[in-house]
Amino acid sequence: MLLQEFQHQETITVTNVNTALPRRLGFRSNVDGIRRLFDLAHACAAGTVEGTRERPRLRLSLATMPQQARVRFGLHLPAVPPASEPVVPVVPAMCGAGKRAAPKAEPALQRAKAKAKSAAAPKENAPKKKNAAGAGRPSSSQESPYTVNSSYDAEVPFADQEAFMKFEKAWAATHVPGQHLNIRHQYVSQAGHHKVILWCNSCGPCKKKQGWRGYSAYNLESKEVNRTYTPISKHTDFSAQKAWTPLTAKTENALKEFMKSNLRHTTQDLVAIVEKNQEERPSDSWIGTWRKNHLKLHPDRAVRLSKCKWVKSDWEQLRRDYGRMEELLQAPPAEWPSSLKFGDCSEDPKETCMTLCNPALLHETLSRLSNKEYIKLCGDGTFRLATEEWVLLTVGALTKHYSVSDGVYAFRTTFSPLMFALANKESDVSYGTLFDSLISCAKAVAGVDLREAVGQYHADLHSGEEKARRRCWPRSDRVADFAHVIGACKRPARRAVRSWEKSDAQVNTWRSGLFAVMKKRAQRDPPERAAVQALQRHYLTPCSPREANDRFGVQSWPGQTSHKNLLLADWWHGAERLQPGSASGTQAQESWHVHKLKKRLGRLHQPIDALVSALQSFMQSRLKDLQARGGVLPDVPVEPFPDKYVLHDSARLTLEGRTSAHQYFRTRSMDLWSDGEDTTYYAMRRTYATFDQEAKGWSAVRTPDEQIQQVRPGTAQALARLVLATQGTCLEQALSDLGLGPSPLQDLNALLKCMSTHVLVVQGPAATKHWRRVGGNNPHTQILCLFCDSFGIAGSCEHAHVALLHSKQISLTRAEMPRRALKGVAPLCDQEPVPIILPGAARASHDRPGDESSRTPKRRDQRLLGFLAAHDFLKWAPLLQAEELTVDQLASIPLAQLKAILPQVPAGTLCTIADAAGSWSPQKAGPQLTVVHAETALKGEALEDQYAVEGLDKPANASDSVSALTFCLCSDVASEERSDSEKEEQ
């Protein structure tokens, strides 16, 4: 049967048998069975079994062929003469009803006969075989499909074949108006030319290479580009949907281009594109699945194969390109470039860390620190800037931004970067490498020993970062921000927990917040012990008795018998532990990462070399910004200045649950006590704002002055004893004096209410030591507010302003405003402040200290008093002297302006004074008045306080709101009529 099936073939292959047997016998065979069949045919001398190897195509004997070779077996039949026909057994013919049907010719015989007939027919009359419509290659006799030719001279020569390919591919993708096609390409090697073949892969026929196609060639000598391609009509309908996807070609290409140009996108962004390009759209879940399958289309998205993909030789090449710090430090500082340099490195595959430093930026930042004896650092790591799992570690210095003209942001904390590092994970090795490199570079660049100078380190309590801090900054305190403590920075829950999250269980516990830890532990048995152990492990730092005595002067404390160590909370911003103004609601570096670093770098998931290049540009920009600002980086204001945000009443301040310094001062709601050593203690209530229980927030209605509760006498002395207590017995006695009973530490609720109700302001030498500054006599360092969160964060608060007002270091009626900026002039914040006159302001507050002439009565005051006494107007003298008006000015100022300046004086009396001044003073004897600008409103309470401070009589209508005009004097009076001090003042 096998011989009859393949009698006209020279070789019988396995494929032939696998095709024939199911058709003849109805079952499928296998290779082993066919091999045994071939062996049987060989045994019967029906043919010779040989083996053939696909590559190279050599015929080998079956006996010499190796077992591992992939062999295609075949049965070679002996040659049969073409004229002879195979012998077929003849079935005898039968008659009648039971006769058998005549046997049909086998299909192989029929094909053999048809082949013999076609061979005998004349060739010239044989019809040509036609290809199926639209299938197969075109015959050589057909015309070339490339009917469109164009050429042009390249204005800018192409750098290489890759640049030429991108240019031509972009042209082919947009050559159809209103469409963006998906173009494929293939290079063609050609001497003296760059040649690329292009074809469309957007519509149906184009995907079978039967649509639009063409090629472009670029002559390297003549710089000429020749294009040859098929007509645009070869494209089919772009709106036709495909059988395997509900997206049209136009929609799919639009989605792919959007994903290439926008790395950060959502499923809804793709849904909007689909609805724009076609009427019927698939479901959101289908589009989301399509998005996940095509995320790899982004050119910058690398395949995440391994963390070790960036090998050691790549880092060595980067270090050769950018240079090392060791090579640079041998040159003088004037020759240091602003480019990026590599510092210490850890090349362990499991703990890889490469430090990056800009020596000019490091020198500029450290040299501008106003307090190099007590430096505050902040470190953190940020992901997603580099590909794979690389993390960018950052460490920088924290300083305060003190600006008179910035209002509510006048006392904010700023972050100045010092050094970066790229690491494959956050660990004690990576952070230790970064800190060690920073210590060595700071010593060589700026001569600052950071190991001894760092007093604070702000971080999010990563376990590896904490180990590195203890080793590198032994004198520093760990500082936590309130957002991490209460759990505001908790990471969102994930479906699957990654391996690095399991290793960072301590960080996750710490980030979940203090209250979450307490709640979790309180549900266990015994709850108190579990909660205390969890707090000590994650949030409290032990302090030995010796360290507590040397550092805080504490000799004993309650509970010392059961707990040998004194426990310090990481978020505690007490003046005994931290410099005032060091606490933070959220880390300054967190905001700096979002608004400075990532905004400038722009893209996420960049390759390592691209990220290093972007970091170099960013650090150069930070250096230029630091040089443009000038000045120093302070931690304390140069001198006390009024913070307008906390000084005056405002609805915004009330909504924050705070009371203005003006209200404290005018109601005298404070208790004072002096220790006899030039130190004054002020006891005040924390706030007079009311909390709305229904709205769960502070009420916007300010408490009237009549409802202000005065502080109980003796509170300041009791709080001072509480602060100065060094033993447990002194502590309990001070708490008992505050009204907490004989056992004040037993009732925790009453103790918490008392400590959260009052604040203690210290003014004098006792407060200076807590600012941790060496040398200098800054008046601002003589102010300290204890038990106040605002002062711990900003270094200033409304309570401290009350003490400054009481000591007359600032004035309620004095404000500092910058000049109006004109075109081409420096910005408002960069200009020097100038004083303006407010109602009731004493000009003596603007006089320079040490000028004795400013304290002597002026001739114009004598003339004014003589004029008022002559006309019986002496009762209005304090108002006129407070505004520093002269008789000549009273005669020349219009009545409306006089009324605006002196609203307390009745209009009829003011008209009489003005008329009398005009008739009493010689004509043109006084200076002419020129109104410049500025109208401001001030409440009458400020005038009342100023009159009380300066010993003036309060007018009857001093509580009314007034308006004042800032004016300048332009005088042409003879110089002999004025003293030298008056000339200088004008």
Q: Return the pLDDT at 108.
A: 56
Which of 234, 257, 284 corresponds to the end of one domain?
Answer: 234
pLDDT at 957 over 60: no
Do 335 and 447 share a domain, yes or no? yes
Label residues 822-845 b or e (16+ Cβ within 10 Å = b): eeeeeeeeeeeeeebbbbbbbeee
| In a shared domain, residues 612 and 668 | no
Structural contact between residues 227 and 238, judged by C-beta atoms closer than 8 angstroms:
no
Give the domain extent around 467: 311-480+575-629
Residue 565 has a pLDDT of 84
> What is the domain count for the chain?
5
- Classify residue 508: in a domain, yes or no: no
Partner residues linked to 930 by β-bridges: 968
Residues 199 and 334 in one domain: no
Q: Are residues 450 and 587 in the same domain?
A: yes
Average pLDDT over the chain reads 73
Amino acid at 621: S
Side-chain-side CA neighbours of residue 690 (13 Å)? 13
Do 39 and 179 reside in the same domain of the chain?
no
Q: What is the pLDDT of residues 25-40, one digit of tens each?
A: 444 556 666 767 767 6
Whether residue 590 is found in the same domain as residue 678: no
Asked if 828 contacts 818 with a C-beta cutoff of 8 angstroms, the reply is yes
Residue 211 to residue 236: CA distance in whole angstroms:
8
Given 33, 58, 76, the domain boundary residue is: 76
Neighbours of 511 (CB within 10 A): 20
In this predicted structure, the answer to whether residue 569 has a pLDDT above a threshold of 90 is no
Q: What token pair was written down for 406?
A: 């910035």
Spatial separation of the C-alpha atoms in residues 528 and 862, rounded to whole Å: 77
Are residue 586 and residue 464 in the same domain, yes or no? yes
Three-state DSSP class for residue 818: strand
872, 954: one domain = yes
DSSP 913-967: HHHHHHHHSPTT-SPEEEEEEEEEEE-HHHHHHHHHHHTPPPPTTTTS-EEEEEE
Q: What is the 3-state secondary structure (H, E, C) of 90-129?
A: CCCCCCCCCCCCCCCCCHHHHHHHHHHHHHHCCCCCCCCC
| Calpha distance 517→106 (Å, rounded) | 88
pLDDT surpassing 70 at residue 132:
no
489 occurs within a structural domain = no
772 and 914 assigned to the same domain: no
Q: Judge contact between 197 and 213, C-beta under 8 A.
A: yes
Same domain, 472 and 612: yes
922-945: pLDDT as tens digits? 333 333 332 223 233 333 343 344
- Domain end among 180, 208, 234: 234
Q: Is the pTM of this model over 0.75?
A: no
Mean pLDDT of 886-893: 80
Considering Cα of 567, then 571, then 574, then 579, what sign does the dihedral take? positive
CA atoms within 13 A on the CB side of 300: 19
Task: Tell me the CA distances in angstroms from 822 to 826, 827, 831, one per residue in order.
Answer: 8, 9, 11
Helix (H, G, I), strand (E, B) or coil at 56: coil
Whether 126 has a pLDDT exceeding 80, the answer reads: no
Q: Name beta bridge partners: 567.
A: 542
CB 913 within 8 A of CB 904: no
Q: Is 745 left (phi over 0), alpha (psi -120 to 50) or beta?
A: alpha
115 in any annotated domain? no
Residue 78 has pLDDT above 70, yes or no: no
* pLDDT tens per residue, range 675-703: 888 899 999 999 999 988 888 889 888 89
Q: Is 277 within the bounds of a domain?
A: no
Identify which of 598, 241, 71 has the alpha carbon closest to the alpha carbon of residue 386: 598
Tell me if 515 is assigned to some domain: no
Percent of the chain with pLDDT strictly greater than 70 = 66
Are 190 and 63 in a shared domain?
no
Would you state the pLDDT for residue 760? 94
Question: For residue 314, is pLDDT > 50?
Answer: yes
In a domain, 28, yes or no: yes
Q: Answer yes or no: is pLDDT of 906 > 70.
A: yes
290 in any annotated domain: no
Confidence grade of residue 240 (pLDDT, cut at 50, 70, 90): low
Residue type, 669: S
**Do 695 and 588 have their domain in common?**
no
User: Does residue 276 lie in a domain region?
Assistant: no
